[in-house]
Amino acid sequence: MKEKMKAKKSFNSNTILLLITIVLFMVLYAGGCIAYGSKGFTHFQTFLNILITNAGLICVACGMTCVMLTGGIDISVGALIAMDCMMLAVGMSKGIGAVPMVAIVLLVGVVFGFVQGFLVGYLEIQPFIVSMAGMFFCRGMTAVICTDQVSITEKINATFYKWANTKVTIPFGGYVNNKGKYMVPYVRPGVIVALIVLILIFIMLRYTKFGRSLYAVGGSAQSAAMMGLNVKRIKMGAYMLSSILCSVGGVCYCLNTMAGSVTRALGLEMDAISSAVIGGTLLTGGVGNVIGSFFGVLINGTISSIVKTNGKLASSWPNILTAALLFIFIVIQSVFGALRARKK
Amino acid sequence: MEENVVLTARGISMTFPGVKALDNVDFTLRKGEIHALMGENGAGKSTLIKCLTGINDFEAGEIHIEGIDGPVRNHSTKDAQNVGISTVYQEVNLCPNLSVAENLFIGREPLTKIRTIDRKSYNKRSAKIMEDLGISVDVTQNLENYSLAIQQMVAIARAVDMDCKVLILDEPTSSLDDEEVEKLFTLMRKLKEKGVGIIFVTHFLEQVYKVCDRITVLRNGTYVGEYTVEELPRVKLVAAMLGKDLDDLAEIKKEQKDYTNEPMEISAKGLSHAGTIKPFDLDIHKGEVVGIGGLLGSGRSELARCIYGADKAQTGTLEISGEPVKINQPIDAMNKGVGMLPDDRKAEGIIADLSVRENIILALQAKRGMFRQLTRAQQEEIADKYIDLIKIKTPSKDTLVKQLSGGNQQKVILARWLATNADFLILDEPTRGIDVGTKSEIQKLIVKLAGEGKSVLFISSEIEEMLRTCNRMVIMRDGQKVGEIDEDLSQEGVMKAIAGGES
Amino acid sequence: MKIWNKIKSWPLLLPVVALILVMAVNIIHDAAVGDNPLSFFMISLRDTTTNGTILFGRIIDIINRGSEVAILAIGMTLVVSASAGTDISVGSVMSLCASFMCMNLAGYGVSSTTTLAKPLIVGLLAAVLMGALCGAFNGTLVSHLSIQPMVATLILYSAARAIGLLLCNDLIVYVRNPSFAFIGAFTGPIPTPILITVVCIILISVVLKKTALGMYIQSVGINAKASRIAGLNSRRLRFLAYLLCGVFASLAGIVASSRITSADSNNIGLYLEMDAILSVALGGNSLGGGKFNLAGSIIGAYTIQAITTTLYALGVSSIQAPVYKAIIVIIIVVIEAPPFKAFIRKHSAARATKGVKA
């Protein structure tokens, strides 16, 4: 009897959204393999490269998911990453060590998240307005730090350079290239960081008081307050978490790009939001998890990867496709929401 | 103090700006009893409850709770919970996206050694709680997968599990069907046996007699009395709630005449809206004033909204002035000469930040369409005309309507519909919360309109004023039209019809 | 005291005070660097080789450069009023409209031209049509699917520029044709963008004056339920507000594109959504919807431009300017926030009682 009830549970609309996402990823990836198999798309390394490129985005999407669970949104993330990269690049070229610089970046994330969270949680200003101002602030601040592109080379900071070029090899899934050499598949340290973040946030959302209260606030802020939760503090916590994870993501991102510039990570907020939405996080809050967002990131990454492998498609295609996917999923959510409302 | 008493409130008074909401009200709750708190809208029920639960800060009076020395004063719902008062509202205040168990335990989850939530433990405890209360649910399922009744019961279970001595149920049954209500009552009786004192607020009379032991009646913020169920039969209860004392209004009496030969203005057949009103028929002749009698929540507003298209009718047909019409939204009805003054003035009546002038001409402008704007001169002329005609007290016609008193706001909305020259007016509680003088003016106006050949559908909680103005009354109970009274309109007859059943 | 209260309730107080502040900063700055302190206000006629005799001066420059923001602010005001949300896609829509226009004028895939492939009017209409289309898209999502305005407009915010690039075959399309460049240049001594803005303002003023649109939109923004009962179609009105916002964005896009005689997808209208929203807020309009004051928004728009120009004069580059604007936005919304107001009221009340006791 109990088994039957559980089976029923796994078939509600939210699970369906997640299933759609996973299937979509598989179809896209399989499509890529079929179309571009000759260009090496089928190699395991291609998949790993998607992870390497998007390590930063995975961290950001985790934070975004937490904010969206409360029914909010944070569009400052792309600009914050640009600022992080610029700070890392400029700081290290001024001779500050890699470890202190990373610590500074994380601290800036905490402070920035605190301000945004305070404005949203305690002053009840629309999250969109707050984070839009945050976005412009960070973008502008990046330019205030330095208007040029600053690269991080081995000469500037050997430690950071070493981190960036470390290969974490994987003992299986390699292939022999056309010169007859066995290629060992690998990931970069950023991927490891991102996956640790993913697991930690997954556990936090499922097994801690704070994690569950994010869901409660998103489900009904009024009810949550009635049940004795401190809604203001929880909201503030969500925005702080988002900015901190974004800074962690910023470091991963910088390890991948090794440069800071004003236009770094332009539109990344969009990728993060669409990853979360595609992964089944409701814009209205209360529903979603980071596993879905992870698959959302993979879908975005696969699209970019396909466009890049093709080589002939215009560079703006990934942007358009991401927006189109976001559009489709928003409409699906809206329709599901209307259906659910009608059932009541 | 009496034996067995868990909660006493003595001499509670509280004023909202300009209104005395509670005036020296007493209330006593005993252990293991279900105590109905009755009164019409605005009688002060919810204000009293909010005083008990710490949402409102009362000015005078004391609250005592068993086992606590000295008067208790709560400042938040959390305070109230700490002294053992839990409340379950009409709207379920739980999170639908969390599991039943989580809803029971959120904010006080059991933790494991490494400070994570002990899911196993609370799932087990939740299952036990629900089992004890005789509710069979899978506690790991999301709350939204269950019916409203179950959700309501989970809310009660949460309240009970937090060691409450006093459980307040504020209109918990309004969105439940009969079967679900029955389930809820079983639960209430079970809790009663455990010694919990339950305060039950409802406007369904039947339910009071089914489950309650005692009734306290409030009227206009004052204490009317405390009765056992046996000593207060239905008709007496309705009388106590509405008040028998006739207000000293000018004698307004519409001349009685036979309208059956007048042309038909409105003819509804089988109109209904799922969840709010069951199919009904209604005919209204030209020049006739028809009242709708019934308690709040009986479907009287919903019937009117259904005709007007505010809630689109899902079944049935409607004829206006003899021609069949399809009403999808209010503007369709307006174009056929219908106007409606809704009961919730703030939410659906006034446009608070617009001026008196704009509020008056809004409906007329909507009827004319966006491109045929009334000139400023025309607007002012119309505004002046109605400010004068129905004596709206306003500093100027360009004053924001939110700055007027309630009665004058109501007159502005009335003026809005008069300006459209509607042939059929629906007035839902036009006299609620306004002073006696304005009340009588509005009643006179209704009679005058009818004399000019307009038809009016009049809804009011005060039977008196409907008796004075109406030719015929429709009686509503539990979302259903149960009858019509067209002759022998008397207070007693109407009350009996509203109360229903044997008395 | 009475006069003080009157001033306090004047709807244009905020933008005018801001404008005066900006002017003061300019005067002080000019005096500090040894210029004529009033050089901010100087207007003169100057002969140029390219445009003949033209008006010259910092104020003219501000009004000229502020044209796009002013035009956007008109549409944004309507959207904010009707839906209590903002349209963050306007900057990107500007860019898309400019790209679509230039693609039409130059022909697909042509990167630079001096002759028009199609008549100018076709290009302009194409731009307006594209703007209307974008507005309709946003409007449908907001009014019919009830999606939060900012999330709905986020889609075009990110996609519009990319679509524009696609239309231009990933190129920056230059249309170096005098009849096209005229829109962003001069009509006699007066900059044409100023004239276009004036025409837009007159048009919308006439519409608001001669039709009931203004009252309808405010009514829906204040109380959508009551408006429906009074016979308004709130969905259609919200849709209309977004549609108009899209059209105005396209006009701003035409001006911006003509100024640089090209369609530079990545830079046209960059950060302008921020300026437009800021104009509306600075104009004394609540971002929570309802009553609007168009004059305030337009003064707000020019104030923003004055701030931008002043920042440039102070040596802040265009990519750094957003920092200061973001701070201004936050200050305005914090002042407007109910919890903040309540806090101030409580604080001043506490001080008042303290004063009485003392």
Does the beta carbon of A145 lie under 8 angstroms from any beta carbon of chain C? no
pLDDT surpasses 60 at A252: yes
Count of the separate structural domains present in chain A:
1
CATH architecture of B262-337+463-498: 3-Layer(aba) Sandwich (3.40)
User: CB-based burial of residue C130 (10 Å sphere; 0-12 exposed, 13-18 middle, 19+ buried)?
Assistant: buried
A234, A210 in Cβ contact below 8 A? Answer: yes
Write out residues 317-356 of B within 8 Å (CB-CB) of C.
Answer: 329-331, 334, 340, 342, 347-354
Residue C269, Ramachandran bin (φ over 0: left; ψ between -120 and 50: alpha; else beta): left
* Contact state of C222 with B330 under an 8 Å Cβ cutoff: no
Q: Does A7 map to a domain? A: no
Question: Which C positions 231-270 lie with beta carbon below 8 A of chain A?
Answer: none
Q: Is C163 on the interface with A (CB under 8 A)?
A: yes
- Asked whether C102 and C175 are in contact (CB, 8 A), the reply is yes
Contact call for B350 and C290, based on CB within 8 A:
no
Q: With left for phi above 0 and alpha for psi between -120 and 50, is residue B9 left, alpha or beta?
A: beta
- State whether residue C147 sits within 8 Å of chain A by CB: yes
Please write down the HEC assignment for all residues of A39-107. Answer: HCCCCHHHHHHHHHHCHHHHHHHHHHHHHHHCCCCCCCHHHHHHHHHHHHHHHHHCCCCHHHHHHHHHH
- Listed in sequence order, the DSSP H helices in chain C are 2-8, 13-32, 58-65, 67-83, 90-106, 120-139, 149-167, 178-181, 192-210, 213-222, 224-229, 234-259, 272-282, 294-313, 321-336, 338-357
Query: Is the CB of A208 inside 8 Å of chain B's CB atoms?
Result: yes
Q: A314 with C109: CB under 8 angstroms?
A: no
Per residue in C239-267, pLDDT (tens digit) is 999 999 999 999 999 999 999 999 998 88
Position of tokens 């308690």?
B295
At residue B246, the pLDDT reads: 40
Residue to test with chain C: of B344, B361, B364, B365, most C Cβ within 10 A: B365
Q: Is A342 on the interface with B (CB under 8 A)?
A: no
pLDDT of C125 reads 97
Would you state the pLDDT for residue B77?
77
CA distance A253 to A250: 5
Q: Which of A39-53, A57-71, A248-262, B459-473 is predicted least confidently? A: B459-473
- The enclosing H or E element of C111 equals none
Beta-bridge partners for B38: B217
Reported ipTM: the value is: 0.85
Q: Which helix (H) or strand (E) holds B465?
A: helix B463-469
Are the beta carbons of B97 and A12 separated by less than 8 Å? no
- Cα gap C287→C295, rounded to integer Å: 16
CATH topology classification for B5-242: Rossmann fold (3.40.50)
Neighbours of chain B (3+ CB pairs under 8 A): A, C
Nearest to C265 by CA among C54, C103, C23: C103
A316 touches chain C (CB under 8 A): yes
More confident residue, C152 or A333: C152
**What are the contacts of B209-212 at 24+ separation with CB within 8 A?**
B209/B234, B210/B185, B211/B34, B211/B185, B212/B34, B212/B35, B212/B36
How close is the nearest chain B Cα to the Cα of A228, in Å? 6
CA–CA gap between residue C226 and residue B310 (Å, rounded): 10
* CATH code where residue A102 lies: 1.10.3470
Q: Three-state SS across B404-452?
A: CCHHHHHHHHHHHHHHCCCCEEEEECCCCCCCHHHHHHHHHHHHHHHHC
Residue A3 lies in a domain: no
- Say if residue A11's pLDDT is above 60: no
Domains B5-242 and B262-337+463-498 in one fold = yes
Q: Are B168 and B85 in contact (CB under 8 A)?
A: yes
Match 């809804």 to its residue by tokens: B459
Every domain of chain B and the residues it spans: 5-242, 262-337+463-498
Report the mean per-residue pLDDT for chain C: 89
Do C223 and B340 make contact, defined as CB atoms within 8 angstroms? no
Task: Check if B312 contacts C (Cβ < 8 Å).
Answer: no
In whole angstroms, what is the distance from residue B383 CA to residue B361 CA? 7
3-state SS record for B73-109: CCCCHHHHHHCCEEEECCCCCCCCCCEHHHHHHCCCC
Q: Which residue shows structure tokens 């060992």? A: A184
Distances in Å between the Cα of C3 and the Cα atoms of B152, C7, C17, C19, C348 are 56, 6, 16, 21, 21
Distance from CA of B464 to the nearest CA of C (A): 28
Give pLDDT, residue B252.
56
Closest partner CB to B116 (pick from A207, A219, A228): A207
Determine whether B186 is exposed, middle or buried from the number of CB atoms within 10 Å of its CB (0-12, 13-18, 19+): middle
Q: What range defines the domain where residue A154 resides?
A: 21-30+43-309+317-329
* A223 found inside a domain: yes
Beta bridge partners of C190: C187
B203: CB partners within 8 A, 6+ apart? B171, B174, B295, B296, B297, B298
Determine contact, residues A255/A190, Cβ cutoff 8 Å. yes
CA angle, B374 then B376 then B378, to 5° = 60
Contact at 8 Å (CB) between A49 and A300?
no
- C neighbours by CB contacts (3+ pairs under 8 Å): A, B
Residue A3: which pLDDT band, with cuts at 50, 70 and 90?
very low
Q: Strands across the sheet with C262-263, in order?
A: C112-113, C173-175, C262-263
Location of structure tokens 């279900």: B34
Ranges B260-269, B365-374, C104-113, C138-147: which has the least confidence: B260-269
Q: Report chain A residues whose CB lies below 8 A from the CB of B140.
A: 6, 9
A137: CB partners within 8 A, 6+ apart: A76, A79, C322, C323, C326, C327
- Show the CA angle centred on residue C163, arms to residues C161 and C164, nearest 5°: 60
At B42 the pLDDT is 66
Residue A301 lies in a domain: yes
What sign does the dihedral A83-A84-A89-A93 (CA atoms) show?
positive
Q: What is the pLDDT along chain B (503 residues), one digit of tens a residue?
A: 456 889 999 999 988 765 678 889 999 999 989 999 988 766 788 889 888 888 888 888 899 988 888 888 888 777 888 888 888 887 778 898 899 999 998 888 888 888 888 888 889 999 998 888 778 889 988 888 888 778 888 888 888 887 788 999 988 876 677 777 888 898 889 889 888 999 998 877 778 888 999 999 998 888 999 999 998 887 788 778 777 544 444 455 556 677 777 888 889 999 988 877 889 999 999 989 999 988 777 888 889 999 999 988 889 999 999 899 999 999 999 999 999 999 888 889 999 999 999 999 999 999 999 888 999 999 999 999 999 988 888 888 999 998 887 788 989 999 999 999 999 999 998 887 676 677 778 888 898 999 898 999 999 877 878 888 888 899 988 888 888 887 777 777 888 888 776 44
In this structure, the strands spanning B424-428 and B338-341 are: parallel
Query: According to the model, what pLDDT value does residue A139 have?
Result: 93
Instruction: State the pLDDT at residue B14.
Output: 87
Band (pLDDT 50/70/90 cuts) for residue A4 is very low
Both tokens of residue C218? 């405010």
A75 close to A132: Cβ distance less than 8 angstroms: yes
* pLDDT tens, position by position, A171-210: 887 788 778 888 888 999 999 999 999 999 999 999 999 9
Residues of chain C with C-beta less than 8 angstroms from the C-beta of A117: none
Q: What are phi and psi of C186, to 5 degrees?
A: -125, 145
Interface test with C, best of B354, B414, B416, B426 (most C CBs within 10 A): B354
Structure tokens at C339: 């919890």
Whether A36 is covered by a domain: the verdict is no
Q: Between chains, do A215 and B95 touch, taking CB under 8 Å as contact?
A: yes
User: Do B12 and B51 form a contact (C-beta atoms < 8 A)?
Assistant: yes
The tens digit of pLDDT for each residue in A281-328 reads 888 889 899 999 999 999 999 998 998 888 888 878 888 998 998 899
pLDDT (average), residues C327-346: 85
Task: Mutation target for A interface from B97, B145, B152: give the one with most A CBs within 10 A.
Answer: B97
Please tell me which of the candidates A208, A222, A286 has its beta carbon nearest to residue B93: A222
Buried b (16+ CB within 10 A) or exposed e, A105-128: bbebbeebbbbbbbbbbbbebbbb
Among candidates A5, A224, A226 on the partner chain, residue whose Cβ is nearest the Cβ of B77? A226
B136: region left, alpha or beta (phi > 0 left; psi from -120 to 50 alpha):
beta
pLDDT of residue A78: 94
Mean pLDDT of the residues in chain A: 89
Contact assignment for B370 to C216 by CB distance below 8 Å: yes
Residue A335 lies in a domain: no
Residue appearing with tokens 């594209």: C130
Whether C207 and chain B come into contact, CB under 8 Å, resolves to no
Q: Tell me which amino acid residue B277 is.
A: I
What is the distance in angstroms between the Cα of C319 and the nearest Cα belonging to chain A? 6
What distance in Å separates the CA atoms of residue B465 and residue B494, rounded to the nearest whole number? 12
Please give the DSSP secondary-structure letter assigned to residue B263.
P
Closest by Cα among A18, A55, A4, A10 to A281: A18
Q: Which of C293, C286, C328 shows the shortest CA–CA distance to C307?
A: C328
Rounded (10°) angle between helices A231-257 and A209-219: 110
B271 contact partners, CB below 8 Å, separation of at least 6: B277, B279, B280, B282, B303, B306, B307, B313, B315, B316, B317, B318
CB contact under 8 A, B158 and A220: no
User: What per-residue confidence (pLDDT) applies to B254?
Assistant: 59
Q: pLDDT tens for residues A21-36? A: 899 999 999 999 998 8
Give the per-residue pLDDT at C355: 60
Contact of A162 with chain B, judged by CB distance below 8 Å, is answered with no
Interface list for C 170-209 with A (CB within 8 A): 170
